[in-house]
Structure 1
Amino acid sequence: MPTADDISTNPHAKRALGMSMASALMALVFAGLLVMDAFLAWQGKLAPLVAVTAGCVLLVGLLLLGWRHYASLRRALRQGQEAEARAQSQSQRDALTGCLSRHAIAPHADALLAQARAQGLAVAYLVLDIAKFKHFNDAHGIERGDAVLVELTRQIRAALPADGLLARLGGDEFALVVPFAPQQPQAIERIIDQITSGMRTPTMASLGAQELALAFGIARSDDCNDPARLPDAAMLLHRADIAHMQAKKAGNAPVQWFYNALEAELRYRCEMEMALRDAVAKDALEPYYEQQVDLDSGEIRGFEMLARWHSSQFGQVPPDIFIAIAEETGLIDRLSEQLIAKALRHAASWAPHLTLSVNISPVQMRDPWFAQKLLKMLVAANFPPQRLEVEITESGLHQNIAMAHALVTSLRNQGIKVTLDDFGTGYSSLGQLRRLPFDRIKIDRSFVMAMGEDANCRVIVEAIALLGRGLGLPVIAEGIETPAMLDSLRGMGDFKGQGYLYGRPQNATTTHALLAERGLLIDAPEQAEEPAPLRHSA
């Protein structure tokens, strides 16, 4: 019999019950008619046989109607239970691969963890995904991508021991839970090797996926200093996720085991990201300026703008740290535009022959509107585009050479000069010079600073200087820190240079004071006709 709970939680049953209530009302009406017939028969106004016959007919009709609705109620309950069972099954299993779902693996992993500990075994929780799988989907279509995921699932199952667990966490991300002997972590590495080899099978090649790479993050259940606080499955997944993120970030290290410092580093980075977001929202980052000088005369020719962030929480944060965070989080556009706008306003008061160099991120190079944004900032600051130089690193060019070509061309059409930065360290340096119309090249500081100890670096610098002369491209050398470096560069040709030999980068106030002292401001009361040679800093 259906219970009250069955009926209250089943909409089909509720509808059937509503029909049964209607039947009950009809039964009351019919019963009233039957009583009336009986009363009339007793009064002699209706034949008894007719009354009895009518009553029997009504009674049979009521019984049939009630049974029909009772059967309907049972059927509704059964359909609801079957639908609930199907939904439960679908929530437990991934529809595409047949793996456990993200929510379903937790209780199974906890049970496996308890069983392994009882047997003196450890458990490895692995999280893996396919690097750049979204690009593969975009290029080949979702159906091809699904076929790759199904084949990868087959390869993982083939590598997984019988007592291991496999779940699809979402997209191209999978989780494995594998018991192993604590003294034999190489058993896990063998499983990883087998899965990785599975990406090179003929089936994967037929799908065009043989070049796809996997990244693994691994956490082990016995990696705990406090035996009283052993991690559960949820904690192991969290740790494997952290290790997985580190593996993807490293790029060339596709397998990363979790260690405790990783979690502290992640927490520190998250706090720094929040502080950086707040700093960008408050426009709190400052432009600093590093002098660019003519190496022969020592005269200031311009400045390179560098980003600096002094955080009340973290102190002076190195640019390579917060710039990387800004690029990963999408803050780089706003951060860079704020700094460039400030720098243009500062440089507007400099002597007309002084240039301003700014760096742009590879992320900004993918913005089709960047050139227009930069032109708008130039107009707002009333700064001549001919005095602005944009430095583009080699590493950002090969990501999209067509878009880079369009950006360089657009900037040069506006009168802005474009410099190829860190020349010699990126991808196909000579090829970039052939494809893209740069105005100057900058020698990477690593070559300049190593000239004294490494003869090969000196030869490379000489070759770049010769190449610049041959192509008619001015050359800038960065990283000049000693008089010996300066003397070496002077013997190689006509250079502009920058480095700590000429002073460290300074904020806008200090830079303005320096230029005022040398008569290199537009509003200076007695501006010198010729800039005075710059003295080397001690």
Structure 2
Amino acid sequence: MRKTERADSGDSQRLTGAISVAAILLFVGIGSTVLSQLVGQQLGTRDGADEILVIALLLNTALILIGWRRHAGLVGQVRGHAEAEARARALAARDPLTGFHNRRSLADEGAAMLVDAERRGKATALMMLDLDHFKSVNDMHGHAVGDTLLRIVAQEVTAITPTSALHARLGGDEFAIAMVFDSSAPEVVERVAERLVARLAQPFDAEGQKLHISCSLGLARSDFGSRSIEALMRAGDIAMYAAKKSGRNRFAWFDESMERELKARNDLEQGLRIAIPGGQIVPYFEQQIDLATGALTGFEVLARWEHPTRGVIGPDRFIPIAEETGMIADLSLSIMRQAFTAARDWDQALTLSVNISPWQLRDAWLAQKIIKTLTETGFPASRLEIEITESALFDNLALAQSIAGSLKNQGVRLALDDFGTGYSSLAHLRALPFDRIKIDKSFVTSINEAPDSAAIVTAIVRLGESLNLPVTAEGVEDGAIAARLIAMGCAKAQGWHYGKPLSPVGVRSLLAERHLIVGAAPATSNVEPITSRRRAG
């Protein structure tokens, strides 16, 4: 459309110009004749000017004036179009909220910066900056406050970075900064990154709200293999993800190991999307022991990925990915369904403990989904204990209370998991109707070497006694730890001292050996001490 308009405008200008030129030539011809007649009249050699020629001259003058005005109007119109196009190009190249370059113009300007830096024997650094917890600002205070915060951040970025730097907002709360530096002095770039991280960790006032955020910042440099702006942006993005994964509120330089790690993670993510519906994620069972009697009382359900080519993959490698990608809900319910089905015909005194991810507690229908799974598998709710970590209560305590209440109404028991690693607040013990406290293994494993750990475990056991909440210790790896826990009065324990987590086949073999499969053999007693029957697998 614009090309057509420019073509039409050009044709009009040429036509108007041609008419004007012709009128001027005609004016010169007619004017010279009329002028000579007038001169002759004054000298007495002629009677006067020809009326027709005079009229033609006047009409010709009018035509010249009209043509000139038309030409001036067209010139103004063309200039207006040019200015409008220039403004449109400027708007297309800039982020309207911050005034920074957008992704497309950063690519163009960044490419020019790279060429200029290389010509001068220097390097280009690209910083990919992502705001931490920005989504919470939008959710809690609205997008108007979020936009104001983004403008303030842009001002701070401009103030801290060199005047020659390129600034871009890539969308949302992600920014990019490109700057030229001497390749022998990367500390110049690091100082800028440190100042950015430090400033963005300070509180901001936006629309009357005091806001706390931070940033994760990834650094990449052109002299380390990233020869294009696209390669720099990718490397910086990978480094930024690494900084975020390391705890946020920091910066990290890109190195190739990060790219390999990211590829491995992406491979796991893609594999996980197939593994969950394909039944490759299966339950393993860790024994839980009554310390007073040595009896097997139940199992904690753990997830293992039985990969067709890589063997068994531990949960520490795939659970975080499942949480980040939202697959944790399907994974958890799949594990529950398999575990409940496997445990239906076990001795009815044996319980199952299942850990719930903090991400799942954001689902208002979680209790109904668990109850539905119990009903469909025929597993009694009274034999199920749901473990909730203390950190999971901070996101939405009211929703957690609602979910816990629905589960408790069906007979499901609740345990506060990893107690001692969070705020360990009595308010959290009172907020939900917990039936048990579980001590994190980080304290239990060092109970005989670290006096601080022993003191913490003792305090938690005493707290449990005062609140009438039995305590389970995780991470019992040897008899000395078990003996220390018994002396402290701890109720239950679990860990490799009692055997490694068992597959469904392995646990069934163990229970059949102890006559704890209903209907498999005459039941004897389900309080048989297991310390003399410890299994390694």
Indicate the TM-score class for this superposition, using the shorter chain for normalisation.
0.7 to 0.9
Aligned to 2:24: none
Query: What do the CA deviations read for 1:336-390 (whole angstroms, capped 9, x no partner)?
Result: 0001011111111111111111111000111110000111111111111111000
Aligned-residue offset at 1:103: 0.2
Q: 1:494–1:135: structure 2 CA closer, same or farther, 3 Å change rule? A: closer
Residue among 443, 449, 467 paired with 2:445: 449
SS of corresponding position for 1:134: helix
Match of 1:512 among 508, 514, 518: 508
Partner of 1:25 in structure 2?
A: none
CA RMSD, Structure 1 to Structure 2 (Å)? 3.1
User: What is the alpha-carbon distance in structure 1 between the residues aligned to residue 10 and residue 234 of structure 2?
Assistant: 47
Counterparts of 1:146-295 in structure 2, within 5 Å, are 146-196=147-197, 198-199=199-200, 204=205, 207-209=208-210, 211-224=212-225, 231-295=227-291
State how far apart, in whole Å, the 1-side matches of 2:526 and 2:89 are: 83
How is 1:356-367 mapped onto 2 (pairs within 5 angstroms)?
356-367=352-363
In structure 2, the gaps of 5 or more residues are 12-62
The match for 1:41 is none
Q: How does 1:60-99 map to 2 (within 5 A)?
A: 84-99=85-100
1:528 alignment partner AA: T
Deviation string for 1:115-146 (max 9, x for gaps)? 11222212110111221112212322222222
Q: Does structure 2 retain, via aligned residues, the 8 Å contact 1:16–1:72?
A: no
Residues 222 and 204 (structure 1), Cα distance of their counterparts in 2 relative to 1, 3 Å cut: farther
Alignment match, 2:294? 298
Once residues 110 and 392 of structure 1 are traced to their aligned partners in structure 2, the CA distance between those partners, rounded to angstroms, is 51
Q: What residue in structure 2 maps to residue 353 of structure 1? A: 349
| Distance (Å, rounded) in 1 between the aligned partners of 2:295 and 2:200 | 59
Q: Show the 5 A alignment for 1:411-450.
A: 411-450=407-446
Cα offset for 1:292?
1.0
1:219·1:240 contact (CA, 8 Å) conserved in 2? yes
- In the TM superposition, residue 181 of structure 1 has moved relative to its aligned partner by 1.5
Report the counterpart of residue 402 of structure 1 in structure 2: 398
Amino acid at match of 1:148: L
Kept in 2, the 8 Å contact 1:16–1:73? The answer is no
Say if 2:305 is the partner of 1:309. Answer: yes
Shift of 1:286: 0.8
| Aligned partners of 2:436 and 2:469 also within 8 Å | yes
What's the counterpart of residue 138 of structure 1?
139
SS at match of 1:309: strand
Q: Is the 8 A contact 1:419 1:440 kept in 2?
A: yes
* Cα distance in structure 2, aligned partners of 1:528 and 1:167: 73
**What is the rounded CA distance, in whole Å, between the counterparts of 2:320 and 2:367 in structure 1?**
22
Do the aligned partners of residues 131 and 203 (structure 1) sit closer, same or farther apart at CA in structure 2, a change above 3 Å counting? closer
- Per-residue CA deviation, residues 429-485 of structure 1 (Å, 9 max, x unaligned), is 433113221001111112221111112222222222221111111111121121111
Question: Which residue does 1:118 correspond to in 2?
Answer: 119
- The offset of 1:283, in angstroms, is 2.4
Secondary structure at 1:10 match in 2: helix
The percent identity for this pair of structures is: 43
Alpha-carbon spacing, 1:280–1:70, altered in 2? closer, same or farther (3 Å): farther
Shift of 1:86: 4.0
Q: Following TM superposition, by how much is the alpha carbon of 1:85 offset from its aligned partner in structure 2, in angstroms?
A: 4.1
2:482 aligned with 1:486? yes
TM-score by length of 2: 0.83
Instruction: Tell me the distance in 2 between the aligned counterparts of 1:309 and 1:282.
Output: 11
Contact 1:16/1:76 (CA < 8 Å) preserved in 2? no
CA contact 1:10–1:77 (8 Å) conserved in 2: no
SS at match of 2:223: coil
Shift of residue 89 of structure 1? 2.4
Separation (CA, whole Å) in 1 of partners of 2:524 and 2:201 = 70
Secondary structure of 1:426 counterpart: coil
- Paired residue type of 2:534: H
Q: Distance in 2 between matches of 1:202 and 1:477?
A: 40
Q: CA deviation at 1:395?
A: 2.1
- TM-score, normalised to structure 1's length? 0.82
Q: Which moved more, 1:325-334 or 1:113-122?
A: 113-122
- 2:534 aligned partner: 536
Assess if the C-alpha contact under 8 Å between 2:137 and 2:211 holds in 1.
no
1:33-65 Cα shifts (integer Å, max 9, x gaps): xxxxxxxxxxxxxxxxxxxxxxxxxxxxxx9xx
Name the counterpart of 1:47.
none
Checking the alignment, whether the CA contact within 8 Å between 1:302 and 1:354 is kept in structure 2 is yes
Kept after mapping to 1: 8 A contact 2:98/2:154: yes
Give the superposition deviation at 1:413. Answer: 1.4
1:468 equivalenced with 2:464 (yes/no): yes
> Are the counterparts in 2 of residues 378 and 385 from structure 1 also a CA contact under 8 Å?
yes
* Partner in structure 1 of residue 31 of structure 2: none
1:77–1:10: structure 2 CA closer, same or farther, 3 Å change rule?
Answer: farther
Task: Assess, with a 3 A threshold, how the Cα gap between structure 1 residues 248 and 529 changes in structure 2: closer, same or farther.
Answer: closer
Q: Among 2, 10, 13, which residue is 2:4 paired with? A: 10
Contact 1:394 1:421 in 2 (8 A): yes
Q: d(CA) in 1 for partners of 2:194 and 2:509?
A: 62
Distance 2:71 2:223 in 1: 58
Unaligned stretches of 5+ residues in structure 1 = 1-6, 18-62, 225-229
The size of the alignment, in residue pairs, is 484
**1:294/1:128 CA distance change after superposition, 3 Å:** same
Taking the aligned partners of 1:517 and 1:201, their CA distance within structure 2 comes to 61
Tell me if structure 1 keeps the 8 A contact 2:290–2:296.
Answer: yes
Look up the SS of the partner of 2:170 in the other structure: strand
